[in-house]
Amino acid sequence: MAAPEFTYTEGEWKVTEAMKEAFWTQGCILVRNMLKSEEISKVKAALEDPNGVKKYTLIRKDGLNRENWAVLWNHPGNDITGVLARTNRIAGTTEQLLGGDEIYHYHSKVNMKGAKTGGTFAWHQDYGYWYKNGCMYPDMLSVFIPMEDTDRANGCLQVVLGSHKLGRLDHHDLGEQLQADMERVEEAKKLLQHVYVEMKAGDVLFFHCNLLHSSDANSSDRRRWVFIVSYNKRANDPYKDHHHARYTPLNKVDDAEVMKCEGIGDLSGKWFMRHDEDFSIPRNVH
């Protein structure tokens, strides 16, 4: 068994009942060829630019002697990363999958696993973190957009299909991350399907915030960078201020806007996250 798959065709894309059913049954859908190689190349060039978002990179210990490098921001903004996160293709699909109510951008990040150096993401549910931020309902999802092909060797995403139906599990500290109760994870793997989601650059995975997921350290000589955008519903606006965005209207744009972006663009207003701002992760880890 593999993650439910669909294929994107430009000009014909429509979120169907079959996609919604697959999303709600398995907790994710994989859409092949959702971005063109020219679009990926443009986003990648902006992410790699030393004067771009990369300037705000944070380092988090994975609790297993390696580190994860990431940059996070809370408002999409007007540069290519923000434009992509606001396209009808990505944000519109998210809105439909979540039931059609208004959504907003909760945060985006780029996780950079260097060749031979990138760390592990422990088994967790994103809602294991977001619950603590005052989000009352698990009405949230993330969109996983790899910048290069990702497979078992360079630490592709792993998921337990259908595990979003288990509800929020307990999580405990591991390095500077949270790890779901591993006794439950092992039982979930026996009951459900544990799959490696191997993806080509241009493929996109939409996954529910209670879906159990993880990724291994990068043991290959290829890097693995991924752009991840997380959305919340307006109706689920968190009840307290924290280190991610409360409801802010999302200005959706036409898909063609991505190719019109130039260079690193305007990075103002994105609210890049500082390491010391994040209270949902363990502190004082040495």
The footprint of ligand AKG (CB under 6 A) covers 111, 121, 126, 157, 213, 215, 226
CB of 155 to ligand AKG, least distance (A): 6
Yes or no: say if 177 and 121 are a contact pair by the CB < 8 Å rule: yes
Both tokens assigned to 204: 């996109």
CB of 249 to ligand AKG, least distance (A): 25
Q: Quick one: CA dihedral 245, 144, 214, 109, positive or negative?
A: negative
CB of 214 to ligand AKG, least distance (A): 7
User: Of 126 and 278, which has the nearer Cβ to ligand AKG?
Assistant: 126
Both tokens assigned to 32: 């092949």
User: Of 231 and 265, which has the nearer Cβ to ligand AKG?
Assistant: 231
Pairing of strands 5-7, 28-32: parallel
Both tokens assigned to 173: 């500290």
CB of 167 to ligand AKG, least distance (A): 18
The region, left, alpha or beta by phi > 0 then psi within -120 to 50, assigned to residue 46 is alpha
Query: Dihedral of the CA atoms 59, 228, 146, 50 (nearest 10)?
Result: -50
State the DSSP H helix or E strand holding residue 286, giving kind and residue range, or none if neither: none
User: Of 143 and 192, which has the nearer Cβ to ligand AKG?
Assistant: 143
CB of 11 to ligand AKG, least distance (A): 31
Nearest to ligand AKG by Cβ — which residue? 215
User: Of 15 and 157, which has the nearer Cβ to ligand AKG?
Assistant: 157
CB of 103 to ligand AKG, least distance (A): 19
CB of 154 to ligand AKG, least distance (A): 10
User: Of 157 and 185, which has the nearer Cβ to ligand AKG?
Assistant: 157
State the DSSP H helix or E strand holding residue 126, giving kind and residue range, or none if neither: helix 126-130
User: Of 72 and 253, which has the nearer Cβ to ligand AKG?
Assistant: 72
Yes or no: say if 261 and 80 are a contact pair by the CB < 8 Å rule: yes
Task: Indicate the burial class of 233 (C-beta count within 10 angstroms; 0-12, 13-18, 19 or more).
Answer: buried
What does the alpha-carbon distance between residue 145 and residue 106 come to, in Å, rounded to a whole number? 16
User: Of 58 and 157, which has the nearer Cβ to ligand AKG?
Assistant: 157
Residues 6+ apart with CB under 8 A from 19: 4, 6, 29, 97
Query: Dihedral of the CA atoms 97, 36, 55, 280 (nearest 10)?
Result: 20
CB of 26 to ligand AKG, least distance (A): 17
User: Of 164 and 255, which has the nearer Cβ to ligand AKG?
Assistant: 164
